[in-house]
């Protein structure tokens, strides 16, 4: 019974988050500042959720930093996301093997 309540609350919150902008913004947004804010918001939220997880996922700050550096360099070189993820994971694994 509790799971059904949790699912119902989650569905309601998800629906409200998606419905509220349609209810309140009936005309096209003309403000450059609001457009800019809405454009960069997904990137900011994704970064805020991902960066802490990167540094606390391995249990070793050194391996996390090595993986992050590898990922940033490969992303800067415009490699595909799957290549960046695999190379960063391999770098973390290799750093963990060599450091222990």
pLDDT for position 62: 94
d(CA 29, CA 26): 9
Averaged pLDDT for residues 63-90: 96
pLDDT digits (tens, 9 = 90+) for 22-38: 888 788 888 899 889 88
- pTM, entire model: 0.63
Q: Give pLDDT, residue 80.
A: 96
Q: Give the total number of structural domains in the chain.
A: 1
Domain ranges, residue 86: 2-99
How far, in Å, CA of 86 to CA of 70, rounded?
10
């Amino acid at each position: 019974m509790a799971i059904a309540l949790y699912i119902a609350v989650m569905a309601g919150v998800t629906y409200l988050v998606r419905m509220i902008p349609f209810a309140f913004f009936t005309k096209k947004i003309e403000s450059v500042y609001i457009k800019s804010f809405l454009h960069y918001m997904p990137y900011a939220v994704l970064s805020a959720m991902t960066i802490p997880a990167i540094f606390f996922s391995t249990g070793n700050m050194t391996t996390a930093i090595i993986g992050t550096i590898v990922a940033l360099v490969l992303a800067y070189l415009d490699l595909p996301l799957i290549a960046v993820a695999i190379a960063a994971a391999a770098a973390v694994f290799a750093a963990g093997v060599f450091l222990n």
